[in-house]
A and B are shown apart, each in its own frame.
Chain A
Amino acid sequence: MKAESLRLAYGQALVELGREDDRVVVLEADLGKSTMSILFQEAFPSRYFEMGIAEANMAGTAAGLSLVGKIPFIHSFAVFAAGRAYDQIRQSIAIARLNVKICGSSAGLSDFGDGSTHQSIEDMAIMRALPNMTVLVPVDAVETRKMVRAMVEWDGPVYIRINRNDLPVLTDPDSEFQIGKLQVMRDGSDVAVFANGVMVSKALAAAEELAEEGISVKVINASTVKPLADEEVLAHVEGCRGVVTAEEHSVIGGLGSAVACALRRQRNLPIEFVGVKDSFGKSALSYDELLVHYGLTADAVKDAVKAVLEG
């Protein structure tokens, strides 16, 4: 399967949207070569603001830009975008539902070498807890492009979580992306697996192997973590005997929590969470090695599926 860079797709999409809509402006905290916001600087230098390594001020400045009619996109690593600038996003942006777009790049464990200070395992939870906030996690480069467009069209703050590494292309350029809608990647009837980001490909691999064992697994790309209507989740679990969630994030507060919340009234529907078990990240020499270390693998999804079937 062909792998493509999500952050490159993101940067290119930003340029495309910037060409279509001159309200789009970009702010960066000295990571433009990683987040790929640098592409926007090359295309539209007057609408690109290098803010220095000062994420809090970047977020507040974006609030001001949105208040005079701009559509600002701010950028940093996810851990800094959601962490360092949390209070400014809360106070200056989210309360007034300002039209600021927040790109948390090098998210999850994808900045494998840099270790715990640079890996974000709680950004989804933080952003999801904010009223008015929308939280998106693209599964591949194709979906990333559609999401950037949807972010411009969406009136209000949006957080997008971008992986640093190339990921397999799993979606079709012609299919529609809609904020709040989940996409079935593989149909199945025994267990529904809600996954996002890198974990969708792991879930698909697990489903493939489980099929050989006679277990039918449905895989859902939960690329919108918020807003996530109860009905949207419930529609995908009909007839299933169990549910698994899989995310490159802490099991606390992210996709697993969102899905479990939507299923709170389902009797006899066991749920299992695949994710980082309440611990910080650490350095490794490769991304895959780190995913294995934290149990973010197809095997972990398989085990979870079997666990819920055993109920």
Chain B
Amino acid sequence: MPSATLLGQALISGVLAGGMYGLLALGLSLSWGLLRLVNLSHFALAFLAAYLTYELGTTYHVAPWWAAAMIVPVMFLIGIAQHWLFDKFKVNELASLLITFSFAVILEVAIQLYWTADYRRFETHYSTMSIKAGPFYIPVLELALCMVAGVLAWGTWLWLRKTYVGKALRAAAEDADIAAAYGVDHKKLAYLLSGMGAAYAAIAGTFIALIATLAPTQIWAWLGVVFAVVIIGRLGNPLGALLAGMLIGASESIAMAVFEPAWAPVVSFSVLIAILLWDPEWL
């Protein structure tokens, strides 16, 4: 039987890892829930941002937060440009899967051409720093990631509920024609939301560069679990995405501590199936 310290440490580790799932799920959830576009290129954009952070950090010695300050606006514009294409070609929900998958593949090849297929690791002196709390250790970077994810998720949730733009977006997602009758310009708002999704991908990418291993094929490593997180957290619900991410992360980590680590990938989908069978009202 694992000790309480081991279980506690695994829980901390899992919740913090879940912060990354939640952060990656945030943009995807908004795009899928409010624009009805399943944007698979979200993962590729996050990795492009991660590689740019790595490049700026290792070649030009730019601190990650300054790198993020440069990359996030660029990604916002890329998100807008991407939506212009969706709009021009009247891409629907199903077609968006195929088209954004193609975008992701193109980006993967482009990343491999420039950075090669070899593993890249952005070593920083703070990458292994931890805070000691009793018998537990809390990794500083993962904690920062969770705090950023929390601020973004909470801020976006408030923005969607309390501001005119947010309410208009939600109304348009419910029924675009009725919303338009009330003067909501859904198309313009969609550009804003698409840009925001890409900007969130860039923020996730900055943390990926600091925490994870970079290899072009890693783009696909997060896809399954983040999809489960988006569905469990409910489409278009930023707080739900973060909480679902933490739930999945904690479940995986506890499974690794108690059973075999190889069981971890089964956990996210088992939780998803269990929740779909339960069919709670909030889903």
Answer yes or no: do A and B interact. no
